[in-house]
Amino acid sequence: MNTTLLVFRRELAAYFSTPIAAVFLVVFLAGVAGMTFFVANFFDRGQADLSAFFLWHPWLFLVLMPAIGMRLWAEERRSGTIELIMTLPVSPWSLVVGKWLAAWVFAGLALVLTMPLWVTVNYLGSPDNGVILMSYVGSWLLAGAYLAIATCMSALTKNQILAFIGAVVVNFLFVMAGFDLVLAAVRPWAPNVIIEAIASLSFIGHFQRIAEGVLEIPALIFFISLIFFALWLNVRILEVRKAA
C-alpha cells in the first residue's frame, strides 16, 4: 500500500484509540448547535437555510482545528517516535500529507455528523440544497486550511500546548486579515497593493463567498494553494530541524 495511506490509516486510528475523538465530537456538535440555535437564532430567522449554522464555522474551527492538529508532530517529538518514523525509507511528504489527511478526514466526519440539521431545514421548508452542499465543501476546505497550519505549528515543538497556541494565533491572523484589526496595522505605511494582498488572505472572505453558494473558483484555489503551501512548509520544517 502507498505509504501516505499507511500513515493516514495509522493516524486516523490513533484519534479513535483514545477518548479524545469522542470528546472532540461532542464538543464540536455542542458548539455548533449552541452557536446556531442560541447565538444566531436559527428558529427566529424564519428562513429555511443553514447560513446561521455556517456563519460561525470560521470562529469555532479557530479553536477546534488546532485541537485536532496539535498532536500530529508534537506527540512524536515528545515520545521520540519521530526518530522511528523519520528513519523509515519514505519521503517526508508521505508523512506530512498522511498526517494532515487523517486530521482532515476526522474533521470531515465531524461535519457529516451535523447533517441532521440539513435534514431538519428540508423538513421545515425548501432550502437551496446546492448552496448548502457548497457551504459544506467550503467549510471542509476551511477546516483543511486551519489544520494544515496547525500541523505546521505542531512540527515546531514537542509541546502540544505551544503547538495549539501557535496554531490559534496564526489562524486568527488569517481570519482577521480582512478586518481593520490587522489592516490598520499596515495601512499607515504600506502601499495599496500590499494592503489588498493582505486583505485577500482573509479566511472569512473566501469562506463566505463559497458559502453564498456561488461556485467561487478563486476561493477554492485560495484554500487549496494555502493548504499545499502549509504542507510544503511542514516538510521544510522537518528538514531544517534535522540540521538544527
Partner 1 sequence: MALVETRALVKRFGAFTAVDGISFAVNRGEVVGFLGPNGAGKSTTMKLIAGFLEPTSGSAAIGGHDSQTDAIAARRQLGYLPEGAPLYPDMTVSDFLEFVAAMRGMTGAKARDRLAELVERIELAEVWDRRIEALSKGFKRRVGIAQALVHDPDVLILDEPTDGLDPNQKHEVRELIHSIAANKAIIISTHILEEVEAVCTRAIIIARGKMLSDSTPEELMSRTAATDAQGKPRSGSVRLEEVFRDITHPKKLETAGA
| Residues making contact with partner 1 (CB under 8 A) | 1, 3, 6-7, 10, 13-14, 17-18, 79-81, 83-84, 86-91, 242-244
CA distance 174 to 168: 10
The nearer residue to partner 1, 58 or 98, going by C-beta atoms, is 98
The nearer residue to partner 1, 18 or 122, going by C-beta atoms, is 18
Region of 46 (left: φ > 0; alpha: ψ -120 to 50; beta: rest) is left
Smallest distance, Å, CB 175 to partner 1? 32
Residue 148 has which C-alpha cell?
Answer: 494544515
The nearer residue to partner 1, 23 or 133, going by C-beta atoms, is 23
Residue 187 has which C-alpha cell?
Answer: 495601512
Q: Which residues contact 11 (CB under 8 A, 6 or more apart)?
A: 72, 98, 99, 101, 102, 103
Smallest distance, Å, CB 155 to partner 1? 15
Q: Which residues contact 156 (CB under 8 A, 6 or more apart)?
A: 162, 163, 166, 237
Q: Check if the beta carbon of residue 82 is closer than 8 Å to that of residue 76.
A: yes
* Radius of gyration of the chain, Cα coordinates, nearest whole angstrom: 19
Smallest distance, Å, CB 18 to partner 1? 6
The nearer residue to partner 1, 6 or 63, going by C-beta atoms, is 6
Residue 154 has which C-alpha cell?
Answer: 505542531
CA distance 45 to 117: 15
CA distance 225 to 219: 10
Smallest distance, Å, CB 102 to partner 1? 13
The nearer residue to partner 1, 5 or 113, going by C-beta atoms, is 5
The nearer residue to partner 1, 78 or 108, going by C-beta atoms, is 78
The nearer residue to partner 1, 3 or 159, going by C-beta atoms, is 3
Smallest distance, Å, CB 109 to partner 1? 18
Smallest distance, Å, CB 94 to partner 1? 9
Helix axis angle, 92-112 relative to 217-243, nearest 10°? 140
Q: Check if the beta carbon of residue 163 is closer than 8 Å to that of residue 153.
A: yes
Smallest distance, Å, CB 80 to partner 1? 3
